[in-house]
Amino acid sequence: MRATHLILALGILVATPPLVAAQDHDPTTSVKGSGLPDGWMLRFDPPRRGPVPPTTAVNFRAMGPGWHLTSGPAALYYRTADRASGNYTVSATISQAKSSGHEAYGLFIGGNDLQGAKQNYVYMVVHAQGGKFLINHRTSDAPPTSLVAYTESSAVHKEDASTGAASNTLAIRVQGDMLHFLINGTEVKTLKASEIPDFSTTGIAGLRLNHNLDVHIADFGVKK
């Protein structure tokens, strides 16, 4: 009997995850939005738990000139009209009036199957608090592939020490097989598209915006 009780007790310990593992150390802010501006779509990152949230879980709205986002879960924001091929440049100025903490924001290119199981795109984001940028390639709901890990760069406008405000103009330029990544007019990285497996520069270009942000987006567009 004692041996049986010991086995049962050990089974309970193995089957029950520790409490700390169940805790969420990076919770997503609850936001009440009213839908998306005309022409815009979004694709949330795979949820950590539970169902995919509704579009009202973010507040993305037209605010002239440009758009303002309060999030909410991390997502891509895009318009199907911004599908590009050949040589082109996507750019935007993204500004924060207060600190975004450890969160980042940026642009993506080559977006395909953005509402499907094989979503595919390359994105660059900046982390204004740390003065860093990152470049990743996502091909599914699995974690993205790192192309450039978070790297410090003097090109990134860091947050103001007292207010947390910052503004960064980002661009991704496609020229033939070359991808040029620019921050505030300075090229911070160049990659060959052909060296990124299963990636095509032909696709939708848009915004990559993490969770828990409060930012303004101006001058977003795709130019040939």
What are 60-90's pLDDT values in tens digits?
999 989 999 999 999 999 999 999 999 999 9
Rg (CA), the chain: 20
Can you give the pLDDT at residue 123?
98
User: For the chain, what is the mean pLDDT?
Assistant: 91
Q: Are 149 and 189 a contacting pair, CB within 8 Å?
A: no
Q: Which residue has the higher pLDDT, 48 or 9?
A: 48
Nearest partner of 39 among 174, 199, 221, judged by Cα = 221
**CA–CA separation, 19 vs 147, rounded Å?**
34
Q: Are 205 and 107 a contacting pair, CB within 8 Å?
A: yes
Can you give the pLDDT at residue 220?
98
Cα atoms in the 13 Å half-sphere on the side-chain side of 41: 12
b/e for 15-44, b at 16 or more Cβ within 10 A? eeeeeeeeeeeeebeebebeebeeebbbbb
pLDDT over 70 percentage in the chain: 89
What are 98-129's pLDDT values in tens digits?
999 999 999 999 999 999 999 999 999 999 99
For residue 98, give the amino acid letter: K
Residue 10's SS3 state is helix
**CA–CA separation, 106 vs 123, rounded Å?**
7
Tokens of 182: 């620019």
Bridge partners of 58, per DSSP, are 71
Tokens of 49: 């738990």
Can you give the pLDDT at residue 13?
37
* Model confidence band, residue 24 (pLDDT cutoffs 50, 70, 90): low
* Model confidence band, residue 49 (pLDDT cutoffs 50, 70, 90): confident
Fill in the DSSP letter of residue 88.
E
CA distances from 213 to 74, 128, 221 (A): 9, 12, 21
Bridge partners of 181, per DSSP, are 172, 189
